Amino acid sequence: MVGARSNMPAPQLGGRAMGVLDRAVANQSLAAIVVADGEPSVLGTMSLVVEGGTSQGRDASRNDNRRAVLDGIAAARADDPEADVLTGLDLAARSIRSVETLPHEIAVIDSGLSTVAPLDFTQPGLLEADPQEVADTLQRIGALPDLEGMDVTFQGLGDTAAPQEPLGIAQRDNLAAIWEAVIEAAGGEMEVEHAPLEGDSPSDGGRAALPEVRIVPIPDGPACSGPTVELTGSDVAFLPDSAEFANPAAARAILEPIAKQLVETGATATLTGTTADVGPIEGQRARGLSRAQAVLDELVELGVPRESLTAFGLGSEYSEYVPDHDADGNLLPGPAAENRKVIITLDNGATWTLCE
């Protein structure tokens, strides 16, 4: 399954993803190529049966089969606006499920930045959402593809091309975690090929330009306003239901300039942890406090005097709370993610200069 669309590099198999093709050729499998645009479609299917009466002839036949798949991938082009990776996975699975011979494998050469509901990463907060909450929501509304018994290898997760802005480390990590949770909830198993896709979107080859794909908003660092810096999951990500940093090195990189200003100015600050409206308010406050305290401890490690920092936990009871449940009381993963943050406020009317 290939994106082959705007805002992401052209598809090219590598590493584990190339291994999927190699096994298909060796097993004389049925191969299908699916394009994951706004209305995913099967570009074509082919039987990779080996022909020839001699070993040389059979080797040549295998090479021809391999080249036919690679040529099909190189020729793939989106012809509908947007990106529907979820439906693309469903179509890919259905395209090969009729063959009883195992294994059933899907190589997904795609950025993973779907822009079609119910998995639309242009929606605020969804890129930073709790992966299990996303998977649970898709399961609840019956939107998961049937991937039972499927091995899914992703290459290109989070890899972008202009005009789509690149993802940060925390965003890329969470995107991979979301897809892993979704695929596991759908009955499949997922591996990631970390070799990046690079370059521009696929060339139109002299044909009409590729259809438009909406831009997924990528925050450019923490949001700053006067005395306040807000750290969301796109800045400092925590493990689900935990005060442990998902990526300690990435969190430290975000916090270093904040610590630098605090040390240089001798300012004091209050750290406030807020949460989604999940569970009793006492538990929300405790979770908010523990995450604010984790950020405080990291700032102290970076040289900020502990006595200049104070941590509080408000849970979901704060002035900028975004409603994160629908009319039926179901949690909305995107808004829930928007509510999970640590707010650092300078005391005594001081302002942050790091975001100027």
Q: Which residues of the chain have pLDDT under 50?
A: 206-207
Each domain of the chain, given as residue ranges in start order, spans 15-193, 223-346
Which residue reads 């070799």 in tokens?
195
Q: Check residue 36 and give its pLDDT.
A: 97
Q: What DSSP state is assigned to residue 131?
A: H
d(C-alpha 140, C-alpha 259), whole Å: 42
* H-assigned helices in the chain: 15-26, 55-75, 85-97, 131-140, 169-185, 248-265, 281-301, 333-339
pLDDT digits (tens, 9 = 90+) for 247-269: 999 999 999 999 999 999 999 99
Q: Check residue 335 and give its pLDDT.
A: 97
Q: Which of 90, 98, 91, 88 is nearest to 47 (CA)?
A: 98
Widest pairwise Cα distance in the chain: 85
Q: Check residue 207 and give its pLDDT.
A: 47
Q: Which of 132, 248, 146 is nearest to 187 (CA)?
A: 146
* H-assigned helices in 277-340: 281-301, 333-339
Bridge-based pairing of strands 228-231 and 341-346 is antiparallel
Class of domain 223-346: alpha beta
Q: Check residue 204 and give its pLDDT.
A: 55
pLDDT digits (tens, 9 = 90+) for 286-323: 999 999 999 999 999 999 999 999 999 999 999 999 99
pTM: 0.93
Q: Check residue 348 and give its pLDDT.
A: 84
Backbone angles phi, psi at 74, to 5 degrees: -65, -30
Bridge-based pairing of strands 269-274 and 341-346 is antiparallel
Q: Check residue 108 and give its pLDDT.
A: 98
Domain 15-193, CATH? 3.40.50
